[in-house]
Amino acid sequence: MKWARVRWQALAVALPAAAFGVASVTTSVKASRRVSRGEYLVSAMGCGSCHTPKTMGPDGPRADASRFLAGHPEDAELEPPPVLGPGPWVAVSAWDTTAWSGPWGISYSANLTPDENTGIGSWSEETFVGALRTGRHMGVARRILPPMPWGAFRNLTDDDLRSIYAYLWTIPPIRNRVPEPVPPRTAR
């Protein structure tokens, strides 16, 4: 009888502990799946094409892995973009595709790393999702400018956008203050 009671007491302690452990593992597995999904989406959508600075190699520009998703380099010195006349051309890009110019002015790719001061490190998940849903910086401020295809990204599911956010929080934070956009030139 005594052993039966001891077994029940042990079971009464062990079952909740085991359930808590399973819940922790389940949460961890879900978080891991979310991060993996986010990594897949960032890769498949080519976010690094515009948000990662490049270095020039023997075969042309290539992504600088040490500045992955850090946006347009704050120390980059660019000459004014060429003026495009009327015709079929509407935009030009800097050689590393982190700066673009068109009828909207000049836009610079954002720092998507979790740096608190120069990236998305102060953004909540809600703020991030809001930005891609509304096409507004932080979901409420200035417009997100071309060539950022936020109009297509807003069609992703909430879970996909949250997965991208979760993944971005796993990459190294990089301090890189991207310049503010430049408004279009006025006609003279």
Residue 11, pLDDT > 60, answer: no
Cβ–Cβ under 8 Å, residues 113 and 119: yes
d(CA 53, CA 61): 9
- The distance between the two most distant Cα atoms of the chain, rounded to a whole number of Å, is 98
d(CA 114, CA 98): 18
Residue 2, pLDDT > 90, answer: no
Polymer length in residues for the chain: 188
112-160 residue pLDDT tens: 999 999 999 999 999 999 999 999 998 888 999 999 999 999 999 999 9
State mean pLDDT over 100-108.
94
59-77 residue pLDDT tens: 989 999 999 999 999 999 9
**What is the structure's pLDDT at 14?**
53
Residue 161, pLDDT > 70, answer: yes
**What is the structure's pLDDT at 174?**
98
Position 21 confidence tier, pLDDT thresholds 50, 70, 90: low
User: Is the pTM higher than 0.85?
Assistant: no
Average pLDDT of the chain to the nearest whole number: 87
Residue 86, pLDDT > 90, answer: no
**What is the structure's pLDDT at 26?**
61
Residue 187, pLDDT > 50, answer: no
Cβ–Cβ under 8 Å, residues 21 and 36: no
Position 83 confidence tier, pLDDT thresholds 50, 70, 90: confident
